[in-house]
Amino acid sequence: MMKRKDQREEDTWRLEDLFETDELWEKELSAVESALPVLTGFAGRLGNSAGELKEALDYFYGLYTRLDRLVVYASQRSDEDTGNGFYQDMKMRVQSLAVRAQEAAAFLVPEILGLEEMQVQQWLREDRGLALYGRALQDMMRKKSHVLSREQEELLSSAREVGQSSNIFNVMNNADLKFPSVKDENGEEIPVTHGSYVRLLESRDRSVRKAAFESVYGTYGQFGNTLAATFAANVKEAAFFAKARRYSSARAYFLDDANVPEQVYDSLISSVHQNLPALHDYVALRKKLLGTDELHMYDVYVPVVDVPDKKYSFEEAKQVVFDGLEPLGDEYRSILKEGYENRWIDIYENEGKRSGAYSWGAYGTHPYVLLNYQENLNDVFTLAHEMGHAIHSYYSGGNQPAVYAEYKIFVAEVASTCNEALLIRYLLKKSGDAEERKYLLNHFLEKFRGTLFRQTQFAEFELKAHEKEAKGETLTFEALCSLYLDINQKYFGPSMEEDQEIGREWARIPHFYTPFYVYQYATGFSAAIALSDKILEEGQTAVEKYKEFLKGGCSKDPIDLLKTAGVDLSTPEPVDRALKVFRELLEEFKSLI
């Protein structure tokens, strides 16, 4: 596999837009470290006047903007090659500084909550500068019962540095785990990596799929006890912080950050359960089309229609995405083009590079996108997906002050999956070939299966794992595999063989280390289906409402932001509507075959 130093510059992201050199990063790290005592110097003064409260908040958000840039630079340098000790050290040092910054700021929220609410309201009316922070101050008041004393907040901030389960998993998963190679259709030895795994599962040769499946899950099985202990530590950490902040559960704690009712989570699982017969129908159809007596989990990704494998160079992928997003208008696509031309994107896999794909950035600079591009249609959609994140951040950061620029995770997947929904509709509309249309319909059905169904399956597993911990049950490797296998079988239904290896799948899912995150892929996908329908049906009017949502950051609760664009996720309607589309697509697919 290619080493990082051998990547072409034009195929890599330009992190110099954050810091031109590592030396400048070091200088800024020292400067931010030196600024922490200034922040603590505001302690005890917030109640003196509106002016002092505003000055403290200005300094806090200014300092955290600088710290955020430090974190993003070090983390993304480390992600270029997770085996690079120099950047691993940088990442760990800035993470340590971030913990100390949390400690320095620990007085802020408790002291604000100690102020008389009537006094704060009066200051907000009288001081236009402080009024900028009105929503943030009101959100603090909403969480008043969950905020601790200054000393306790400092202790909680320090405790975060102890919990390193996420870092342990990431290093082990990306730098240390090595999978046995397999032979491809031509008998040639092929390395199995995080980046190549799905591509191998798409192989027409079943023996290749099976070998790749066993290579990956056999390896995870060898480290099962360690991975279970790491996962369990993360679950216990979530429970600890939830209890410390007086929440009834870890789920209640994590959902409250965006003021999302727990009923939204339960309603999602309930709606999907009611529609599992449609998924079982699709799985049974897949088995029939593959013409196999038994359907295994390694048969899930291979296309079930006979069309030539088509490869997309990255240049072709960029053009397809650009054309597919035409309904979003010239302004939106000009931002997309800027990202293409100004090296926002790190494109190809290299040895030690973090697996998967993401978009990230710091306030005041453009966003970045990490890919491990493999030239297949799935990765074309990944480009559209991650650029959706990036452009959401671009709009949000360009239209909101630092205090409201970072949108909540609950809406983080809406823009990305809206891009995907528009792209698949473009490709279906463009296709005049019946065989190609079958392929695209299969691909769209797979998006539903892989996002709405699969992420809800993950969410159900995560909820039950956390509930087990809350009951005092031990999260052993065997217990976690058994739980996961049972849920997997419920979702895939009677046509799927019970492959024991798939019980280990939980062990390779990085998002479980951000507790109660994955359900938002499913709710976001549902919102994206609704929004893409509105954009295609209503045109510019819907586009303008959608862009207002993109510009909103966290200036409103995320459910309220989506309502402004015409989608209400406080009801089951968007999820039920998306599942109805799945059933309609499935019927069209059946009619074509």
Distinct helix (H) and strand (E) counts, the chain: 26, 5
355 secondary structure, DSSP code: P
3-state secondary structure 405-440: CCCCHHHCCHHHHHHHHHHHHHHHHHCCCHHHHHHH
The b-or-e profile of 71-93 (16+ CB within 10 A means b, else e) is: bbbbbbbbbbbbebeebbebbee
Cβ 178 vs Cβ 276: under 8 Å: no
Beta bridge partners of 417: none
Q: Residues 192, 180: contact at Cβ < 8 Å?
A: yes
Element (H, E) at 183: strand 179-183
Tell which phi-psi region holds residue 208, choosing left (phi > 0), alpha (psi between -120 and 50) or beta: alpha
List all residues 6 or more positions away from 539 whose beta carbon is below 8 Å from its beta carbon.
Answer: 327
| 185: annotated active-site residue | no
| Angstrom distance (rounded) from CA 440 to CA 584 | 14
Residue 344: closest CA among 1, 573, 76, 131 = 76
Distance CA 484, CA 486 (A): 5
Rounded Cα distance between 518 and 530, Å, is 20
Q: How far apart are CA 77 and CA 88, in angstroms?
A: 8
H helices present in 245-307, as ranges: 250-256, 262-274, 276-290
Query: Which structure tokens are listed for 215?
Result: 């290579």
Name the active-site residue from 386, 413, 420, 501. Answer: 386
Catalytic positions are 386
